[in-house]
Amino acid sequence: MKSMKKILISLLCLFLVLPWLAPFTAASNHQNETEIEAEDAGETAGKDEVVYATLSPSGAGKELYIVNSLEVTEAGEIADYGAYSNVKNLTDLSEISQSGDVVEMSASVGKFYYQGTLDHTNLPWDFKMTYYLDGEEVTPEELAGKDGTLEIEIDTTENEAIDPIFYENYLLQISFAFDGEKTSNIETDEGILANAGKDIQVTYTVLPEEEAVLSVTADVTDFELAGIDISAIPQNMSIDAPDTDEFTAEIGTLADALQSIDDGVLELKGGATELHEGTTALQSGSTEYKEGIQALNNGSGELVSGSKAIQDALATIDQSLGDTDGIDGGDFNMMTEGLEEFASALREIKNGLVELKDGFGAAYEALDEAITAIPGHEVSEEEIIALKQSNANQDTVDKLLEVYTAALTVKGTYEQVRDGFSAVTSTLETMITSLETIVGSIQELIAGFNEFLEKMDPTSGLKELQEGISTLSANYQAFHSGLVTYTEGVGELAAGYTEIDAGIGELNNGTGELASGVSELRDGTAELAEATQDMPEQVTEEIDEMLAQYDKSDFEAVSFVSDKNEEVNSVQFVLKTEPIEKAEETDEAEEESEKKSLWERFLDLFR
């Protein structure tokens, strides 16, 4: 018992004396520092920095410190730089001194580690973690221990307050694990899922100079999350350019094909221009023909009226000759003059019909050649749909289809009235022949009548004259009927041809739009062919530029804490969010123990 009391008294004395020994210990350390200062300055061959940060579950920074690893090649006093709020030696028990941003320490050859804590939490990236449960945004604290459909969204953006060299050259890897026994139906578009024991690991990669929005959904029960791990390292791997010869060869073939298309469109442009010129001439001829046929139709009434007057005159003469009383020589002379005027009128009609036949024949020949030259190709509905779904200029395609439809309409209408056109010429020839026959008959009648008057007594030959006039009147009546039928046909032809002429006008307008559209198409294909002429070289350059964007092999590390630090070998970032976990009940005994003083806890060891 007495031994125990002595031990207690000795320990108590030691406990009370220790504070008084501290100044002497400090003096001894100061003496050691003085000796170190007297030593030669040490040398280093570079340093590594590992940046550790603790983030809240929502991504806000909470703590930021750096673990520095110095490669000491010659023992002695060495210096490093960093605006730390405090520093800690992680290598041995020697002290580290700090003055402003200068950190000094005494180190032996080899690795020397020390930790520096920063008074800010700024990183090259800003992180934001958002949590949704059953579609409603919730805080991490509210989420712990809950069930439902969970969505985690992670946003990464550049922090412009930090040197952009890290954002531009560092690769981010973000990962966290779900409890496989409490999680199901995990889905993510941007990440990779992997089994890690009973857990399911979710991993994302964010390339340098990229901002990302990452998300994952899962059905969870009694949810907890150990935290989200984020690491950042330089993407300093080099990327070899792939062999693009085969690819560029195919592109060269494409460029050649585009040039061929341009050549074909150029020929199409010439053909479209010629087609438009042809339809313009066709429209001009058609307009003249329409005006001529309308003029003929307009004069048909007068022609029929004149012919009817001639017919009535012949009938009157025939009737007058039947009544021979009161006829004298003067009447015969008047009859002869009337027949002469009649013959002259018939000649004028015949000459007019000859001119009409010749003009109509020329116009009809030009019209027939122009319309016959219009291709009759049929384009199927499938071909039209394929053409509309192609890469061709759709305005030009629509114009082509309009021209195609108008051309087929004109061609079809013409085929329906073509027989009528052909019949006009033959009818005109028949009428001209009939008029020539009638005029010849009248001339013979006049000659015979004059001879009769000279040699014979006029009254004795009246019967023969009457028979001749009667025959002439009967023949002319048939001619007049044919003339009426002809003029009716001319009227129908004039009415029908108006539609044909309108169709030809639409065709000409369509070919004009086609020529204009093909001209624009040619401009486009020419520009495309010119732009793609050097496409293989351009593609190769683009590939090189794209690869150069991701090739960070020439990156040289710089210090995260101070630009005064030289010979920096590497800088890495290790970040972690705090866990989302349910609150645990505190043991009352532990709480009571935490409230006891140091002396009470010391005495408890012997109770």
What is the secondary structure of 524-563 as a DSSP string? HHHHHHHHTTTHHHHHHHHHHHHHHHH--TT-----SS-T
Both tokens assigned to 597: 């003083």
CA–CA separation, 246 vs 135, rounded Å?
Answer: 50
DSSP-derived pairing of the beta strands 148-158 and 212-220: antiparallel
Average pLDDT, the chain: 76
CA–CA separation, 380 vs 337, rounded Å?
Answer: 70
> Can you give the residue ranges of every domain in the chain?
42-238+553-582, 265-527
- Residue 14 CB coordination number (10 Å): 10
Distances, alpha carbon 589 to alpha carbons 295, 317, 586, in Å = 125, 155, 9
Does the pLDDT of residue 540 top 90, yes or no?
Answer: no
CA–CA separation, 190 vs 376, rounded Å?
Answer: 57
CA–CA separation, 418 vs 10, rounded Å?
Answer: 138
For residues 316-344, average pLDDT:
63
User: 278-283 long-range CB contacts below 8 Å, 24 or more apart?
Assistant: 278/370, 278/373, 279/370, 279/504, 279/507, 279/508, 279/511, 280/508, 280/511, 280/512, 281/366, 281/370, 282/366, 282/367, 282/370, 282/371, 282/504, 282/507, 282/508, 283/501, 283/504, 283/505, 283/507, 283/508
- pLDDT (tens digit, 9 = 90+) per residue, 390-434? 666 677 777 677 776 767 676 676 676 666 666 666 766 777 777
pLDDT of residue 501: 73
- Cβ pair 215, 189 in contact under 8 A: yes
Q: Using alpha carbons, select from 173, 153, 151 the residue that is nearest to residue 223.
A: 151
- Residue 516 CB coordination number (10 Å): 15
Distances, alpha carbon 276 to alpha carbons 279, 365, 375, 505, in Å = 5, 19, 14, 11
Quick one: pLDDT band at residue 159, thresholds 50, 70, 90? Answer: very high
Burial of 33 (0-12, 13-18, 19+ CB in 10 A): middle
Does the pLDDT of residue 177 top 90, yes or no?
Answer: yes
Of residues 27 and 601, the one with the higher pLDDT is: 601
- pLDDT (tens digit, 9 = 90+) per residue, 5-43? 444 444 444 444 444 344 434 434 444 444 444 457 899
- Residue 170 CB coordination number (10 Å): 24
For residues 278-285, average pLDDT:
72
DSSP 459: G
Order of strands across the sheet that contains 148-158: 136-138, 125-133, 148-158, 212-220, 183-187
CA–CA separation, 356 vs 363, rounded Å?
Answer: 10
pLDDT of residue 28: 41
Helix/strand/coil for 15: helix
Helix/strand/coil for 213: strand
CA–CA separation, 239 vs 183, rounded Å?
Answer: 39
For residues 569-593, average pLDDT:
79
- Cβ pair 292, 366 in contact under 8 A: no
Residue 379 has φ and ψ, to the nearest 5°, of: -105, 125
- Residue 365 CB coordination number (10 Å): 12
Q: Using alpha carbons, select from 224, 53, 54, 229 the residue that is nearest to residue 140.
A: 224
pLDDT of residue 349: 72
Secondary structure of 378-436 in HEC code, one letter for each residue: CCCHHHHHHHHCCCCCHHHHHHHHHHHHHHHHHHHHHHHHHHHHHHHHHHHHHHHHHHH
pLDDT of residue 457: 54
Ranges 81-95, 524-538, 571-585, most confident: 81-95
- Cβ pair 43, 112 in contact under 8 A: no
- Residue 81 CB coordination number (10 Å): 18
- pLDDT (tens digit, 9 = 90+) per residue, 185-222? 999 999 999 998 999 999 999 999 999 999 999 999 99
DSSP 374: S
Range of weakest confidence among 27-36, 82-91, 321-330: 27-36
DSSP-derived pairing of the beta strands 136-138 and 229-234: unpaired
Does the pLDDT of residue 598 top 90, yes or no?
Answer: no
For residues 245-266, average pLDDT:
69
